[in-house]
């Protein structure tokens, strides 16, 4: 696992997802340094915590996930990986256009999947 000790911020409005993602990723060597439940707090948390990676849900209650992604990458705050329980095909070119490194369907989330995108 090449990602040992990479810090990560998990952004999702579902608490169960944040909890299970944290357990999974921590078991696989990531350091989860924060959680956020909407777009605005994601931006402020990213600013203050300076994570290496932001795992960002596409659908957030306040802002659009793609907008948050461009904001984060535009300011060089972190590597952004988008995630959703929906089909990645639904988003077409939006993922690339947002500046995010890639997209992982929630069901397929794992340290290895994350490594594959973050390491690239």
| Of the residues 34, 39, 51, 111, which one makes contact with other proteins according to CB under 8 A | 111
Pairing of strands 53-57, 79-84: parallel
Q: Does 21 bind other proteins (CB under 8 A)?
A: yes
Contact partners, residue 96, CB within 8 Å, separation at least 6: none
Under a CB-based contact definition with an 8 Å cutoff, are residues 41 and 66 in contact?
A: no
Q: Does 16 bind other proteins (CB under 8 A)?
A: yes
Under a CB-based contact definition with an 8 Å cutoff, are residues 88 and 109 in contact?
A: no
Among 32-40, 47-55, 67-75, 79-87, the segment contacting other proteins (CB under 8 A): 79-87
In the three-class reduction of DSSP (H, G, I as helix; E, B as strand; rest coil), residue 73 is classed as: helix
Among 33-41, 45-53, 70-78, 104-112, the segment contacting other proteins (CB under 8 A): 104-112
Binding site for other proteins (CB under 8 A): 14, 16-17, 19-21, 23-24, 27-28, 59, 85-87, 89-92, 94, 106-111
């Amino acid at each position: 696992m090449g990602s040992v000790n990479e810090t990560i911020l998990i952004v999702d409005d579902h608490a169960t997802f944040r909890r299970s993602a944290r357990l999974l990723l921590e078991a696989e060597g990531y350091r989860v340094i924060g959680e956020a439940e909407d777009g605005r707090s994601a931006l402020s948390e990213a600013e203050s915590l300076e994570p290496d990676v932001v795992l960002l849900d596409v659908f957030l209650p306040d802002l659009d996930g793609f907008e948050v992604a461009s904001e984060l990458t535009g300011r060089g705050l972190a590597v952004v990986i988008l995630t959703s329980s929906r089909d990645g095909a639904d988003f077409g070119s939006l993922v690339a256009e947002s500046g995010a490194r890639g997209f992982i369907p929630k069901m397929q989330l794992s340290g290895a999947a994350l490594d594959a995108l973050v390491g690239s």
